[in-house]
Amino acid sequence: MITTRAIVLATGLVDLLPPIPGLHESWGKDAHVCPCFSGYEVQDKRLVVFGLPERLPQSGKFLTAWSPYVTVVTSHEFEPVVNERLHKLGVVVVRDEVSALVRRDDRLIAVSTDGGKTIPCDGVFISAAMRAASNLAATLCEVDETGFAVVDPNGKTSRAGVWAIGNASDPLSHLIHAAAAGAQAGPWINDYLIDLSLVTIKN
């Protein structure tokens, strides 16, 4: 057992990837989740975007900053204004679902679809669901429906002495945000510990 007067949760998150053949072999090589992080690595390459439909238009939009060869694959029907915007950006929308990633000589060469199409590509971006990497927060404080800690602007949770930073509370937080959140929480944790010391001295 570990005894502590305060705790900072920094347990991160897990991407919930679909069970698609070839994805495991491509993960971290040709398959990515964040256009902002990985777009530079695939500039001017043929890219396919698929996954959660609500995120696909933005992912496709972001990737046009890096490549003119972007294809969104989804059976979801976007609003006309979304289709028009994607068309103006040069994004091709294929009404289908990705069923497999096709690899040859240890590199991605295409994706296959449920409808029998083969779409040549050099990389894919997956709009995947996410969950908290640990259920520790759920045992200590209030969490949202996906298991992430609910915090105030300083990282304080619903339970005294418990703070959460980075992806422990915000699924969209990046490394630099997590570091900043830790710096933001630090003085308030120190304040809390000093107050505990005052109570101890008084008693």
Domains belonging to the chain, first-starting first, are: 7-13+133-202 (3.50.50.60), 18-127 (3.50.50.60)
Task: Compute and round to an integer the Cα radius of gyration of the chain.
Answer: 22
Q: What pLDDT was estimated at residue 124?
A: 98
Q: What pLDDT was estimated at residue 174?
A: 87
Tell me the pTM.
0.84
Cα–Cα dist 102/94, whole Å: 17
What angle separates helix 56-63 from helix 80-88, to the nearest 10 degrees?
10
Predicted confidence (pLDDT) per residue in 97-121, tens digit: 999 999 999 999 999 999 999 999 9
Model confidence at 79: pLDDT above 90:
yes
Predicted confidence (pLDDT) per residue in 7-26, tens digit: 999 999 999 999 999 999 99
Span 150-164, average pLDDT: 97
Q: Which long-range contacts does 107-110 make (Cβ < 8 Å, 24+ apart)?
A: 107/29, 107/30, 108/22, 108/26, 108/29, 108/30, 108/31
Q: What pLDDT was estimated at residue 194?
A: 93
Q: What pLDDT was estimated at residue 29?
A: 93
> Rounded mean pLDDT of the chain?
94
Given pLDDT bands bounded at 50, 70 and 90, which one contains residue 199?
low
